[in-house]
């Protein structure tokens, strides 16, 4: 199954599992369902939907994703423990194409955690993989920290997993330690020397601690791996995982030296990248390959001159290939609803009549404040329109007084559970004063972990997108909002995060710890 004459590379997306392990990147239930639907629609072969035993919320999300999937294989993660595997199967069994992914740490450092000898761990691998295969005919097994596992032992446990019924063997570079040549050599040797190695799919799972995740993954493919594990925007703990958009576009653009195909509709990359950035609160860096704001921008005079004469002089792929409009034609205050709907379709966004009505109202309000409304502005409006109108906390009005003459002052009116309350507070700047006013109206102990401002477009009238991450009693929530007034955007983002904390506390019940357990030591 790993013969190099077979040119299909399977894309295994773990944004909803490994990607969500980024501190503060926790998604709501509805956001997980939305991202899973987008992944399914863009042609991802396998979606690792979560870690079912981690929490009841994770179990329900994986189960519902499994039931809703149209095309993708739906996979759940399980440690090498029978209860984990049973719980995983309960979550994915309703999928048209279910998969169980079980793992155990095999390097000396990871073997020391459960205090198992090599023989004891080998026995557990045989037992748990066999158990998973009795439940599901699609079983993936991973030796966590494989790249730091002794060769003889790694070959031994891979053989055991294959004999026990694993159909995919994933080789994780859990700490981003390996280099491309090593990645290729390891896969090539495993295929050649492990009994049964030519009868299974070999996968690569790389972290980006040394900035080589994409290179390591592609090197593994050239050596015979036929599944790449990756995330949208390279989301993941520490420095992140292999970025889906990078490996997919590298294979597409450099098919001359890497003759491998994927089933990804690359025109949908930008839309899902933006949605993942929004729901996770992790903005994409401007110079990020493929999906960064500057990925198709040319400022140098020489570059601009070349682009005008022939785009291929400085672009190795077309913006349209990843879902960017060839030209960003702005709308204005005289544009109608039909033009807005057409623009949304061009941007890959389909909305119903009621949602379009709401977005159109926001669009007109923005167009009155801005000369031109660009694509990025419209996408920010779509995000704002999805905010829940039933939020317990809502801003009614905000007035801020600031300058060089003294401390800033914020005058705030809010609705809290339908009751209007107000507060006036001073602070070290307008945002500080505003946040203090919000805490005065709605007292809370939430700690501000992140406050981030990004301009949606260029110019002094640009919308600011603000991300706020709060932590309270172990719960983490991220809020985001966009507005041409940075202070208003900040206030709305802060309140949005508070509303999410309230929802999680309500779901957890009195006195409960609402955290979804994160197993930070997984592949």
Binding site per annotation, positions? 18, 205, 207, 241
Taking the C-alpha atoms of 79, 84, 87 and 88 in order, what is their torsion angle to the nearest 10 degrees? 10
**Cβ distance 505 to 477 under 8 Å?**
no
d(CA 302, CA 324): 23
Q: Rounded to whole angstroms, what are the CA distances from 80 to 74, 343, 395, 484? A: 19, 49, 48, 51
**Binding-site sequence positions for Mn(2+):** 18, 205, 207, 241
8 Å CB contact between 488 and 504:
no
Alpha helices by DSSP H, listed for 51-149, are 56-68, 82-92, 108-111, 118-135
Cα–Cα distance between 306 and 31 in angstroms, integer? 42
Residue indicated by tokens 């029978």: 82
DSSP 3-state assignment of 447? strand
For residue 46, give the nearest of 305, 228, 179 by alpha carbon.
228
List the Cα angle 2/51/157 in 5-degree steps.
45
CB hemisphere CA count around 33 (13 angstroms): 11
CB 131 within 8 A of CB 85: yes
| Maximum distance among all Cα pairs of the chain, rounded to whole angstroms | 77
Asked whether 447 and 471 are in contact (CB, 8 A), the reply is yes
Q: Write phi, then psi, for 21 (nearest 5 degrees).
A: -75, -5
Give the residue from 162, 122, 124 showing the smallest Cα distance to 141: 162
3-state secondary structure of 104: strand
Q: Cα–Cα distance between 216 and 179 in angstroms, integer?
A: 6
């Amino acid at each position: 199954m790993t013969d190099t004459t077979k040119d299909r590379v399977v894309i295994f997306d773990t944004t909803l599992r490994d990607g969500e392990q980024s501190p503060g990147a926790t998604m709501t239930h509805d956001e997980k369902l939305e991202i899973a639907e987008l992944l399914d629609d863009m042609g991802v072969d396998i979606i690792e939907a979560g870690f079912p035993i981690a929490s009841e919320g994770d179990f329900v999300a994986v189960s519902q994703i499994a039931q809703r999937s149209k095309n993708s294989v739906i996979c759940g993660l399980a440690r090498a423990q029978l209860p984990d595997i049973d719980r995983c199967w309960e979550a994915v069994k309703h999928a048209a194409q279910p998969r169980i992914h079980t793992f155990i740490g095999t390097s000396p450092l990871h073997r020391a955690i459960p205090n198992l000898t090599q023989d004891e761990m080998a026995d557990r691998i045989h037992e748990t993989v066999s158990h998973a295969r009795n439940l599901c005919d699609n079983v993936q097994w991973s030796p966590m920290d494989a790249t730091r596992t002794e060769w003889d032992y790694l070959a031994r446990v891979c053989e055991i997993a294959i004999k026990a019924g694993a159909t995919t063997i994933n080789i994780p570079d859990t700490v981003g330690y390996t280099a491309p040549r090593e990645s290729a050599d390891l896969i090539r040797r495993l295929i050649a020397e492990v009994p049964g190695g030519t009868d299974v799919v070999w996968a690569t799972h790389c972290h980006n601690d040394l900035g080589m995740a994409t290179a390591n993954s592609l090197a593994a493919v050239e050596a015979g791996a036929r599944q790449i594990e990756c995330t949208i925007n390279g989301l993941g703990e520490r420095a992140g995982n292999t970025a889906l958009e990078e490996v997919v576009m590298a294979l597409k653009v450099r098919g001359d030296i890497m003759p491998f195909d994927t089933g990804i509709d690359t025109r949908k990359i930008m839309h899902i990248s933006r949605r993942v950035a929004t729901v996770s609160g992790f903005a994409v860096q401007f110079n990020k390959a493929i999906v960064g704001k500057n990925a198709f921008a040319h400022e140098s005079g020489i570059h601009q001159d070349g682009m005008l004469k022939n785009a291929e002089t400085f672009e190795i792929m077309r913006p349209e290939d990843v879902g960017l409009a060839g030209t960003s034609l702005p709308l204005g205050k005289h544009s109608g609803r039909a033009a807005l709907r057409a623009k949304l379709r061009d941007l890959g966004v389909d909305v119903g009549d009621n949602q379009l009505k709401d977005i159109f109202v926001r669009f007109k309000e923005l167009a009155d404040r801005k000369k031109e409304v660009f694509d990025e502005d419209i996408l920010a409006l779509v995000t704002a329109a999805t905010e829940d109108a039933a939020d317990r906390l809502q801003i009614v009005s905000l007035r801020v007084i600031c300058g060089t003459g003294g401390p800033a002052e914020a005058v705030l009116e809010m609705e809290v559970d339908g009751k209007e309350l107000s507060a006036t507070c001073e602070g070290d700047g307008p945002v500080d004063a505003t946040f203090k006013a919000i805490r005065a109206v709605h007292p809370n102990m939430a700690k501000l972990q992140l406050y981030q401002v990004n301009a949606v477009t260029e110019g002094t009238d640009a919308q600011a997108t603000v991300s706020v991450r709060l932590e309270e009693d172990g719960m983490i929530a991220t809020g985001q909002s966009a507005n041409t007034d940075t202070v208003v955007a900040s206030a709305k983002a802060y309140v949005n995060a508070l509303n999410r904390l309230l929802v999680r506390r309500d779901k957890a019940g009195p006195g409960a710890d609402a955290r979804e357990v994160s197993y930070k030591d997984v592949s």
